[in-house]
């Protein structure tokens, strides 16, 4: 198979979808890999490292899309890329369709095959290609939140872990999944007073068993959320419904109940956000203030630590990329059920129900293409 890796053009996105080591594994199996010039530089990988692994370098993004049967990316295509995508071309990347209708419509019109990292799913309902970036984003949420609690950055002026004789900051985490768990570990390690809210009692029992003493659990409902936000200094939105838009757990009217300088970090922003007042921001302009509450809503948080993120992502995606390259998307999905829910759009048909429902568009069962 001919595989193309374009350079990411989203604002301040420095990750690359394939390391030189990953390229070598594909090339060993007889596939051809084309890397856009300087695509890996943001993550610390030079063109020379890719050529040493056997990949070819192409100067422009147009040439990469033009030659490739499968495009491997990190983030969803953005508008300048829409016209480059060909009918029947396989795109393997994060899409988060349910949060952005223009992207969904553009991919439907392209008649490409869109296989989304975030909805590849194991039998136990875990999301193996979302986990590594969720781990990075969860840890970064605390790192960034602690930073924006500083007064010069419009925060309350609180040190997350406090000092002897001064209480630490209160951190509220909405969601006890991968992001929430990693955020809790980081916040706890820095000495904060941490509360995780979730709707699953089994999950909260597990977290209560494994977390340190400064992490508490609490049932998530509107009454409890309203109660907890009044004292929180840092609130992390970490709610995920696979493939669907995140629910709003914090609404606009709740901001007035928070202390001035409270910091909100919405990690779910690329799925529409679980905080109503959050809208996607960039690493260039990461925050804005509403009702004296600081909002940090960067949609590609792991892009700020691209070396770590690229290695973690390739570790997870490469086994699937090899299957897709060796067998083609249809046979690979027929033989590996984990890939089936990853298929979101095929030849102009939306085959992932939550995406169709998000925009009231027609849904076609994926079995039409796999039977």
Alpha helices in 36-130 (DSSP H): 47-52, 61-67, 79-82, 101-110
φ/ψ (deg, to 5) at 180: -60, -40
Tell me the CA end-to-end span of the chain in Å, nearest whole number. Answer: 23
Catalytic residue among 198, 266, 270, 349: 270
Catalytic residue among 96, 193, 198, 349: 96
Are 65 and 4 in contact by the 8 Å Cβ rule? The answer is yes
User: Catalytic: 96?
Assistant: yes
Are 127 and 103 in contact by the 8 Å Cβ rule? The answer is no
User: Catalytic: 349?
Assistant: no
Question: Which CA distances in Å does 263 have to 104, 219, 231, 300?
Answer: 32, 22, 12, 18
Strands 349-350 and 343-346: antiparallel
Question: Which CA distances in Å does 137 have to 182, 278, 299, 312?
Answer: 8, 16, 10, 12
What are the catalytic residues?
96, 270
């Amino acid at each position: 198979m001919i595989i193309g890796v374009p350079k990411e053009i989203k604002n301040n996105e420095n990750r690359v979808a394939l390391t030189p080591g990953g390229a070598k594994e594909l090339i060993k199996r007889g596939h051809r890999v084309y890397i856009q010039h300087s695509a890996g530089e943001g993550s610390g990988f030079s063109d020379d490292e890719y050529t040493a692994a056997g990949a070819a370098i192409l100067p422009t993004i147009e040439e990469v899309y033009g030659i490739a049967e499968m495009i491997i990316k990190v983030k969803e295509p953005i508008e300048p890329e829409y016209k480059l995508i060909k009918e029947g071309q396989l795109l393997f990347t994060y899409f988060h369709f349910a949060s952005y209708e223009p992207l969904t419509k553009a991919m439907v019109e392209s008649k490409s095959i869109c296989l989304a990292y975030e909805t590849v799913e194991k039998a136990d309902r875990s999301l193996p290609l979302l986990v590594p970036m969720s781990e990075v984003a969860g840890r970064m949420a605390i790192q960034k939140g602690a930073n924006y609690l500083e007064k010069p950055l419009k925060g309350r002026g609180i040190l997350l872990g406090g000092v002897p004789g001064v209480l630490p900051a209160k951190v509220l985490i909405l969601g006890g999944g991968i992001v929430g768990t990693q955020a809790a570990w980081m916040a706890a390690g820095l000495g904060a007073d941490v509360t995780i809210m979730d709707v699953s009692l089994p999950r909260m029992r597990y977290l209560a068993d494994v977390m340190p003493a400064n992490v508490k659990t609490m049932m998530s409902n509107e009454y409890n959320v309203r109660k907890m936000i009044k004292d929180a200094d840092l609130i992390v939105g970490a709610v995920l419904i696979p493939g669907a838009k995140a629910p709003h757990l914090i609404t606009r009217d709740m901001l007035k109940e928070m202390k001035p300088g409270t910091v909100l970090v919405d990690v779910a922003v690329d799925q529409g956000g679980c905080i109503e007042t959050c809208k996607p921001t960039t690493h260039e302009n990461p925050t804005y203030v509403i009702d004296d509450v600081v909002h940090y809503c960067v949609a590609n948080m792991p892009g700020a630590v691209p070396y770590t993120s690229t290695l973690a992502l390739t570790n997870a995606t490469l086994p699937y990329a090899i299957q897709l390259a060796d067998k083609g998307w249809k046979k690979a999905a027929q033989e590996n059920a984990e890939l089936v829910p990853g298929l979101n759009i095929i030849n102009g048909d939306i085959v992932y129900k939550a995406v169709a429902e998000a925009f009231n568009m027609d849904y076609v069962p994926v079995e039409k293409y796999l039977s």
